[in-house]
Amino acid sequence: MSKLNTQLLKGTLEGAMLLIISREELYGYVLNQRLQESGFDTVSDGTIYPALQKLQREGYIVGEMRKSPEGPARKYFKITAEGRIYLQLFIETWSRLKQNMEGLIDENQRRYWGK
Amino acid sequence: MSKLNTQLLKGTLEGAMLLIISREELYGYVLNQRLQESGFDTVSDGTIYPALQKLQREGYIVGEMRKSPEGPARKYFKITAEGRIYLQLFIETWSRLKQNMEGLIDENQRRYWGK
DNA sequence: GCCTCCTAACTTGTAAAACAATATAGCTAT
DNA sequence: ATAGCTATATTGTTTTACAAGTTAGGAGGC
C-alpha cells in the first residue's frame, strides 16, 4: 500500500511541491507538512531536499537562507516566472494523464454493474 | 513535454497496463497500441516487456505463448484473481492521489480569477 | 554540565522504473 | 537477397524516492 503510493508519487511530487510554493513562500520543513496536509504520505528528507535543489537548478524556484528566531536557519523558496510557466505546462500534462486514466477506469467499473 | 510525460508516467503505467489486460487478453505489441489509443505517448519496448514480466512475477497476470498465423509467436497475457484484487487497490490509491492533486490545482486556479 | 527532543538542511548508498539501442527471429513482398 | 513489418527480450544509462546518517541551533530536564 505504501509502496504503491511511492510509485504513484513519482512524477507528481515535483508538480505538487511547485503548486504549494506558488501560493506560499516557505522552507523545506514546512513544505513537507503542507504535503501531508494535502493528503500525501510523509515524504522523506532524502526526497524533499534533493527535489528542491533540482527545482532551483532548473530555475523554477529560488531559495534564500534566513535566520530563525528559534532553531537553525531556514531556506525559504519562492517560485520564479519560469516556474509559473512550467507549472501551467505541468497542470495541462497532468490533466491529460488524468483523463486517460479516468477513461480506462470508467470502462473497468462499467463492466461490474450494467454494461 | 515528452520528458514531463515520462515522469508523470511513472507509477501509473503498471495500473494502466493491468486495466487494459483486465478487459482483453492480449500480447505486448498490441498492449502498446492500446496504450496509445488510450492517450498515452508511445511506450518503448524496453519499458513494456520488463513491466509485463514484473506483473507476471508478482502473480497479477499470466502469459502463454501461442503461434501466430503470420509472423513470430505471441505471448498472450490475462489477468489473475490476485491481479483483480491489486487492480481495485490501485484504483483506490489513484483516486486518492487524483483528489489530492485536484485540491492543489483548484486552489492554484482560483487565485487567477476571483479569489 | 549533559542528555534528550524538536527543528532544519543536507549527504550517501540503494532500489525501482523508463528509455534508447540492440539482438533475435518469423513471415511477406519485391 | 534484402527490405519491411511483426514480435519478444536484453543491456546500459538516467532519474527518482527512500532509509539512514550527519551537522547544527535552541529549549527543557536532570
A71 touches strand D (CB under 7 A): yes
Residue A21 has pLDDT above 60, yes or no: yes
What is the spatial distance, in angstroms and rounded to an integer, between the CA atom of A46 and the C1' atom of C13?
Answer: 12
In angstroms, the separation between the Cα of residue B47 and the nearest Cα of chain A is: 15
DSSP assignment of A55-106, as one string?
HHHTTSEEEEEE--SSSS-EEEEEE-HHHHHHHHHHHHHHHHHHHHHHHHHH
A94·B8 Cβ contact <8 A: yes
Enumerate domains of chain B plus CATH numbers. 2-110 (1.10.10.10)
What is the spatial distance, in angstroms and rounded to an integer, between the CA atom of B54 and the C1' atom of C17?
Answer: 11
In angstroms, the separation between the Cα of residue A76 and the nearest Cα of chain B is: 20
Q: What is the pLDDT of residues B10-22, one digit of tens each?
A: 779 999 999 999 9
A108·B39 Cβ contact <8 A: no
Among positive and negative, which fits the CA dihedral B14, A6, A46, A65?
positive
A93·B5 Cβ contact <8 A: yes
Q: Are A78 and A25 in contact (CB under 8 A)?
A: yes
Residue B7 has pLDDT above 70, yes or no: no
CA neighbor of A90 nearest in space, from B110, B43, B7? B7
Sorting pLDDT into bands at 50, 70 and 90, what band is B101? very high
What is the C-alpha separation between B65 and B63, in angstroms, rounded? 7
Report pLDDT for A25.
96
Report pLDDT for B1.
36
Coil, strand or helix at A41: coil
CB-nearest partner of A101 from B23, B87, B94: B94
Residue A1 has pLDDT above 90, yes or no: no
